Amino acid sequence: MSSDPFFNSPDQRLLLIKKIFGVNNKVLQLLSFLAFAVLVYDLGFTEESQIGFFKIFYNVILVLLAIGLTIRLFSEFERYKRARFITEIFIILLLLFAAMVNLDWINLGFSQKIVNLHINTFLANLVILILFLIELSKLALNVNQLAIHPAMVFIMSFLIVILIGAGLLLLPNATHNGISLIDALFTSTSAVCVTGLIVLDTSSDFTFMGQFIIMILFQVGGLGMMTFTSFFGFFFKGSYSLQNQLFLKDYINEEKISAINSSLIKIIMFTLIVEGAAALMVYSVVDKGLFDNFGDRVFFAVFHSISGFCNAGFSTLGNGLYEAGFRTAYHMHLIIAITIIIGGIGFPVVLGYYNYLRHLVIGTKKMITGEEEYRHAPRVVNINIRLIVYTTFILLVLGIVTYYLFEAEHTLKGLSGYGKFVTVIFGAVTPRTAGFNTVDMSALAMPTILIYLILMWIGASPGSTGGGLKTSTIAVAVLNTISIAKAKDRVEVFNRQISNETIRKAFAVILLSFLVIGLGVFLVILFNPELALIHVAFEIFSAFSTVGLSLGITGDLTTGSKLVVTVIMFMGRVGTLTILVAFFRKVRTLKYKYPEESVFIT
């Protein structure tokens, strides 16, 4: 036994072991970031995947990551749940398997070229990407320890993803003929802010890698970076701090702190289920003769299902869904339209109705089995959810009716009965921040364009993947107007009174939207005086509401106009009020009150 008192003290030994495992965690974090950097270089710059010294260096990192994860896995200070334990064991085995295959320690019986292509490029790279996201997520959970306003955290999360996306799109292998910095920034902002406006043709100017990057960007942007990092961070860290919980409570619109983790899981699972189901249906109904191979057809289905759910509006087709061969794929149009509605209605609505149906099924089962009488649960579907659903329904009906009336002699002319039915529905859905087009946008009648401006301005619902003013905002504004017309001193709906703070926020958001849109139109006209006013207005409304529809002027914008539209897309996604709140110091409850006076309004 050692005579050193340090090693004879259990507390000191425990402290030493904790420090060792702490260092191991830091090394793991650095290795995952290094591996991701090597991966980006390999995919973005090199013509051949991992050869020579580069191949050995890359696979040494894989082995070191596996060793580090194994040390952490069996640390007595880590409390693992079964799902997390199994996941990390699986990741370790994948890392070791990929490294041994790439270093020729295992012969799978295939040619070396096939092994490199399918094992190294897919298996190892996928694991590295997952590890990078895990470590980044765990690191992101510590951001609330900084003295930063939660609104600023929200804004910075989008800004960081946009800058990373722009950097990835600048990689030589992401495009066929290169891309300028401003175009990369514009495209990345459009993807992260789920807008869909493009200055380069997604189908012809970007390689498969570039299209894949764009798809990941609008997937992350649609759900929000904080949703991803919070979910993965909690799963692999095992707990949230109180600061994390308070931030996430407002971010995902969850009333109960205790339900934050379950709500995050439901959001992620619901997203995967809807996107997966949509991809399968699109794959099954689209004509396979339009694709060169099985892989292209699968990627098309996945890309458009994610783009639809996230209300992104990006397409791998040169003319969008109006591309020859796809413009009459009405089954596919209908699937994407339904996916757009589901993504744009908002996660609070989905979670609310999920809880209601769950309570209904469980309560009915207990009543039938005689365990207990059915108990009514009040306010499971609250006023917020009901307002969103009613407003969404009204806007859809308005869009359907007006599109059918105004486009009968234009874009609907010559279509079959079923074709008109699907086109009318899609035409009513797409301006609600979706951005897809199944018709020639330049052929739209002027009344339809004006209706589109209104629908784009209102946009989707709060807590959704879409942008815009939001359905609840316009609903509160309309209810307040009706209340004033009736000379009522408060706003009431569904036997509830809407708070004055909500009404004030609604009108603040409306005012700010007009200011930003007006300034955007002015600046683009200033930089591009040759463009028609209606086209510019349509472009700015589309950018602010993150819609992505255009009358064909996006590619003609000058650098100044592109910067203006980029900023407006960003402001429209994060919210103008959120930006103001982030930069203004919050005033505590006022301890004084001035004499009240009226101001003439009319």
* Residue 219 and residue 70 share a domain: yes
Give the SS3 label for residue 206. strand
Report yes or no on 368 lying in a domain: no
Q: Torsion angle, CA of 569/571/574/578, rounded to 10 degrees? A: -170
Six-digit token string for 341: 């509605």
Look at residue 517 in the predicted model and tell me its pLDDT: 95
Q: Which of 170-184, 419-433, 451-465 has the lowest mean pLDDT?
A: 451-465
| Rounded Cα–Cα distance for residues 374 and 16 (Å) | 57
Q: Which domain holds residue 102?
A: 12-337
Report yes or no on 49 lying in a domain: yes
Contact 178, 170 (CB under 8 A): no
* Residue 322 and residue 437 share a domain: no
* Residue 86 and residue 150 share a domain: yes
User: Does residue 511 surpass a pLDDT of 70?
Assistant: yes
Report yes or no on 377 lying in a domain: no
User: Does residue 237 surpass a pLDDT of 90?
Assistant: no
Look at residue 140 in the predicted model and tell me its pLDDT: 66
Q: Which of 224-238, 376-390, 468-482, 550-564 has the lowest mean pLDDT?
A: 224-238
Report yes or no on 371 lying in a domain: no
Look at residue 597 in the predicted model and tell me its pLDDT: 80
DSSP 109-143: SS-HHHHIIIIIIIIIHHHHHHHHHHHHHHHHTTG
Look at residue 155 in the predicted model and tell me its pLDDT: 83
Report yes or no on 300 lying in a domain: yes
Taking residues 77-88, report their average pLDDT: 63
* Residue 440 and residue 319 share a domain: no
Look at residue 119 in the predicted model and tell me its pLDDT: 45
User: Does residue 64 surpass a pLDDT of 60?
Assistant: yes
Report yes or no on 591 lying in a domain: no
Q: Torsion angle, CA of 76/81/84/89, rounded to 10 degrees? A: 50
Q: Over 505-546, what HEC string results?
A: HHHHHHHHHHHHHHHHHHHHHHHCCCCCHHHHHHHHHHHHCC
Residue 586, CA atoms < 13 Å, CB-side half-sphere? 11
Q: Torsion angle, CA of 534/537/539/545, rounded to 10 degrees? A: -140
Six-digit token string for 40: 């980006």
Q: Which of 300, 317, 337 is the last residue of a domain?
A: 337
Contact 290, 325 (CB under 8 A): yes
* Residue 414 and residue 316 share a domain: no
* Residue 455 and residue 307 share a domain: no
If pLDDT is split at 50, 70 and 90, which confidence band does 581 have? Answer: confident
| Rounded Cα–Cα distance for residues 30 and 26 (Å) | 6
Look at residue 112 in the predicted model and tell me its pLDDT: 44
Six-digit token string for 169: 């799109």
Contact 345, 311 (CB under 8 A): no
Instruction: Give the distance between the most distant pair of CA atoms in the chain.
Output: 96
Burial group, residue 378, by CB count within 10 angstroms (0-12, 13-18, 19+): exposed
Report yes or no on 355 lying in a domain: no
Q: What is the pLDDT of residues 91-147, one digit of tens each?
A: 778 777 777 766 555 454 444 444 444 445 566 677 787 788 777 777 766 665 566
* Residue 78 and residue 192 share a domain: yes
* Residue 434 and residue 317 share a domain: no
Q: Could you tell me which residues come within 8 angstroms of residue 511 by beta carbon, excluding any fewer than 6 positions away?
A: none
DSSP 158-180: HHHHHHHHHHHHTSGGGBSS---
For the chain, counts of helices (H) and of strands (E): 23, 2
User: Does residue 250 surpass a pLDDT of 70?
Assistant: no
- Exposed e or buried b per residue across 209-233, where buried means at least 16 C-beta atoms within 10 angstroms of its C-beta: bbbbbbbbbbbbbbbbbbbbbbbbb
- At residue 102's C-alpha, the angle toward residues 96 and 107, to 5°, is 90
* Residue 168 and residue 88 share a domain: yes
* Residue 398 and residue 309 share a domain: no
* Residue 318 and residue 230 share a domain: yes
Report yes or no on 125 lying in a domain: yes
DSSP 21-63: HHHHHHHHHHHHHHHHHHHHHHHHT-SSSS-HHHHHHHHHHHH
Q: Which of 272, 305, 337 is the last residue of a domain?
A: 337
In the chain, the number of structural domains is 2
* Residue 427 and residue 298 share a domain: no
Q: Which of 316, 337, 358 is the last residue of a domain?
A: 337
